[in-house]
Structure 1
Amino acid sequence: MDLIKSQLERRLGHDFKDKGLMELALTHRSCGNRNNERLEFLGDSLVNLIIAEALFLRFPEAKEGQLSRLRASLVKGETLAKVAREFAIGDCLNLGSGELKSGGFRRESILADAVEALIGAIYLDSDMDNCKTHVLRWYHARINETSLEKSGKDPKTQLQELLQSRKHALPVYSMSDVKGEAHAQVFTVECAHKLLAKPTVGEGSSRRQAEQQAASEALALLGELK
């Protein structure tokens, strides 16, 4: 296994006994029939279970609908792609030539699928307890930041309500870049406000997703201000 993937193991916190499992988890279907789709299927079930249990224990008074919305926000593709970017998983992906040319290593859906596949691979390489420990560590800050009041609101709405509650003007969103082919574009959006030292930046496969990510980054900064 090359150096960059060994470094990924350290970032993930798991040293694979079966290096082939990790390699498979990082292999997109554009490479052929031997790809990460089956591991993705397994990882999807695992991350839903692990996050569901964590939220169940964190919010003992929450209703089913509230827990479902919180879980959905934590396991959706956008959040999984953020986890992938934090670990620089895109740099380690095995992609076919077409996906390489179109920037597949940046595509949200491919990054999200790779995270789920890695979760499935870690489970098969070790056991449920170990897999759960890793996933909860990766999600620790996000789970701690969740609240029942925000369970049905997206980042743009939360940011708007935060600013309005403090009697400030609303943020301004502007698209700063669009990359990739028409079928696989990556949008970059900036969120500007006078309370921010500089605009926050979001990326996504649509302008809406990019705006939501930029708003989420702004929330993290403005939420610390009094």
Structure 2
Amino acid sequence: MENEPAAGPRAPLDEARAEQLRAFLRQHNLEADDLSLIDLAFTHSSHAFEQGLSGDNERLEFLGDAVLGLLVSLHLYASHEASSEGDLSKLKAQLVSRNVLGRLAFDLRMGDLMRLGRGEEQTGGRRRFSLLGSALEALIGAIYLDQGLDAARRFVSPFLLNVHDTITQHEAYQDYKSQLQELVQRRLGVVPRYETTGAIGPDHDKTFSVTVAINGEVMGTGQGRRVKSAENRAAHSALTRLRQELGEAI
């Protein structure tokens, strides 16, 4: 657990508010030693200004942005073994975009817990993706400070993997399985063989690991929330390796 420097007066936290925050945390299998820190993540600067408070969620947003960036980078580094730095950076930018984070925060109903000033309230701040995305980053920062990096990872991982799979399965995303099969059949006269080598997590939230072998040799590995997406990543890994070995542009 980390220690947060003093941030000045915060919004008062009564028992009803505290129970709202506890209920939100329970939904995500989390707890908090310092609920006022979690509450701060939901405190917009407009509310702090109107109430004469010096504490709002902007410093936590700064921290949460860095924590989220680390968690996303670690996930992409592990699940895209053959991707270049440029490809990883492009996918990371998609995953942590303000629109994606705002949609996630909206789906988590974070707007219901926001402390907003009158102006933000009247202009639809509880539904504004830019505001909600910033609050989500602040919440990640608060969870990190209060419970550590593993807790932040547990909170982030489910929706991160869902968005990751959605992006990588989008119709504009490469169908690496088809590319691999076409290349292997044409150049080697065989077909790739995929094997699911593991599945971790509860039934409703599993992450699958897959290998792809050619002539009995494992050529690539991949992970995903669905077997198909894990297979596609394994195919991408194998394609990159074969491109080097066969000297063929893919």
Do these two structures clear the TM 0.5 threshold for a shared fold by scoring above it? yes
**CA deviation after TM superposition for structure 1 residue 146, in Å:** 4.1
Cα offsets for 1:92-133 (capped at 9, x unmatched): 000011111111111111100110000000001111122122
Which structure's CA Rg is the greater one? Answer: 2
Show the counterpart of 1:201. none
Of 152, 172, 184, the residue aligned with 1:158 is 172
Show the counterpart of 2:152. 131
Correspondence list, 1:107-186, <5 A:
107-147=128-168, 158=172
Instruction: Name structure 1 gaps, 5 residues minimum.
Output: 163-226
**CA deviation after TM superposition for structure 1 residue 43, in Å:** 0.2
- Provide the rounded CA distance (Å) in 1 between the counterparts of 2:144 and 2:73: 17
Answer whether contact 2:64 2:137 (CA < 8 A) is retained.
yes
Show the counterpart of 2:29. 13
**CA deviation after TM superposition for structure 1 residue 26, in Å:** 0.2
- Provide the rounded CA distance (Å) in 1 between the counterparts of 2:86 and 2:98: 20
Tell me the TM-score normalised to structure 1 length: 0.63
Show the counterpart of 1:73. 94
Amino acid at match of 2:172: Q
The share of aligned pairs that are identical, in percent, is 35
Cα offsets for 1:155-204 (capped at 9, x unmatched): 7x839x99xxxxxxxxxxxxxxxxxxxxxxxxxxxxxxxxxxxxxxxxxx
Verify: 1:89 aligned to 2:110, yes or no: yes
Answer whether contact 2:21 2:35 (CA < 8 A) is retained.
no
Tell me the TM-score normalised to structure 2 length: 0.57
- Provide the rounded CA distance (Å) in 2 between the counterparts of 1:12 and 1:99: 27
Show the counterpart of 1:52. 73
Of 28, 47, 51, the residue aligned with 2:44 is 28
Amino acid at match of 2:43: T
Show the counterpart of 2:124. 103
Cα offsets for 1:42-75 (capped at 9, x unmatched): 0000101100110111110001111001000000
- Provide the rounded CA distance (Å) in 1 between the counterparts of 2:29 and 2:159: 10
**CA deviation after TM superposition for structure 1 residue 13, in Å:** 2.6
Answer whether contact 1:55 1:143 (CA < 8 A) is retained.
no
Answer whether contact 2:44 2:56 (CA < 8 A) is retained.
yes
Moved more, 37-46 or 78-87: 78-87
Instruction: Name structure 2 gaps, 5 residues minimum.
Output: 1-14, 49-53, 176-250
Q: Alignment RMSD, CA only?
A: 2.2
- Provide the rounded CA distance (Å) in 1 between the counterparts of 2:124 and 2:21: 19
Of 75, 78, 83, the residue aligned with 1:62 is 83
Amino acid at match of 2:79: R
- Provide the rounded CA distance (Å) in 2 between the counterparts of 1:12 and 1:87: 10
- Provide the rounded CA distance (Å) in 1 between the counterparts of 2:166 and 2:75: 13
Answer whether contact 2:57 2:138 (CA < 8 A) is retained.
yes
Q: How many residues align?
A: 154
- Provide the rounded CA distance (Å) in 1 between the counterparts of 2:166 and 2:82: 17
Amino acid at match of 2:24: L
**CA deviation after TM superposition for structure 1 residue 15, in Å:** 1.4
